[in-house]
Chain A
Amino acid sequence: MGTPLKDRNRAEFKRYKEDVESEGKSFFPYAILHDSVMSLVVVAVIIALACIWYFTADGTEAGLLGP
């Protein structure tokens, strides 16, 4: 008989928790460094879009990004 899906899921999640505890790495500084870099990129992209939108418009005509 195969293992019922529910039991298999529970066993897999238990294994996941054990693997992360034994082989995982600390959230700080490894993962948070990636998150911080990505966040800076997002803010930079938003600022860049705002600048392109504003500086390519001339007051009467829409700029590159539209009105």
Chain B
Amino acid sequence: MEAVALYPLDWVEERSGLVGYTKWFLFRKVPHDISWAQTLGAAALTAFLSQAITGVVLAMYYKPDPNAAYGSVVNITEELTLGWLVRGMHKWGASVFIILLFFHMARTFLFGAYKYPRELNWVIGVLLLVSGMLEGFTGYLLPWDQTAYWATAVGINLNATAPFLGPFLAQFLQGGLYIGPDTLAKFYALHMLLIPGAIFALIGLHLYLVVRLGVTSPPWSATAAGRERVDGGGREGLIRDPAVQEEPS
């Protein structure tokens, strides 16, 4: 009976090694003193997954055409079963996602988790923040109401004031002389395909490096992993100035 139940797992394991990898992933060691602060990454990931799921549902009913976009959003909110909930979750989930990214970055900075050998993961995190903000900017136009239109006009004009690349970036985003059908189609494509794809790829890389390099201990932990031990097995003080050189022996 047990052999029958385990057969699918054995089949997958023999062909992919995924079962073994999952076991290793789940039962790998993390520092004993991790706290709730280290859950902010998982929280941000959850917010992003919520955005992805609600976004797919919205995309099934949204029409990226200036004559129909606003009507389709009203239809989703007022007519579709639980459409208000899906749209509300997507609208407010975007803000929650960005806020959690900032909290996660603040935690990483305050814990010194951006230092060697995690510098590359910090850079990927910054790219994720920029991608998240771009996702918010491109998504803001999609309801195609007055607020969306004028907020996007301000955003594009702000981009245009940047030196050298600014005017080209503004022209690319606007897709013409004024904000119209081309702009909406372009923002929809960026919001639906390019930026989410980039975020998924960056999150994959980010998680790979988190698993590979490990999670840092809180700086206030008296027994932080990696801290130098002093005689008797304890750890040295919390603050160690790298500029202070040891005496020659």
Contact = CB atoms under 8 A, between A and B. Distances in A.
Q: Which 4 A-B pairs have the closest CB atoms?
A: A50-B88, A16-B226, A2-B245, A24-B29
Contacts, number: 122
Interface residues of B, number: 46
Interface stretch (B42-50, B60-68, B188-196): B42-50
Interface in B7-62: 25-32, 34, 36, 38-40, 42-43, 45-47, 50
B84 A50 contact: yes
B84 A54 contact: yes
Per DSSP, are chain A's interface residues mostly helix, strand or loop, or mixed?
helix
A47 B25 contact: no
Interface stretch (B90-98, B159-167, B175-183): B90-98
Given A23-B32, A24-B32, A26-B30, 6 more contacts: A1-B245, A8-B242, A20-B214, A26-B28, A27-B25, A27-B27
Contacts of A15: 225-228
Residues of A in contact with B, size category = 35 or more
B223 interface: yes
B26 A50 contact: no
B124 interface: no
B248 to A, nearest CB: 6
A5 B242 contact: yes
B214 to A, nearest CB: 6
Contacts of A34: 34, 36, 38-39
A8 B248 CA distance: 16
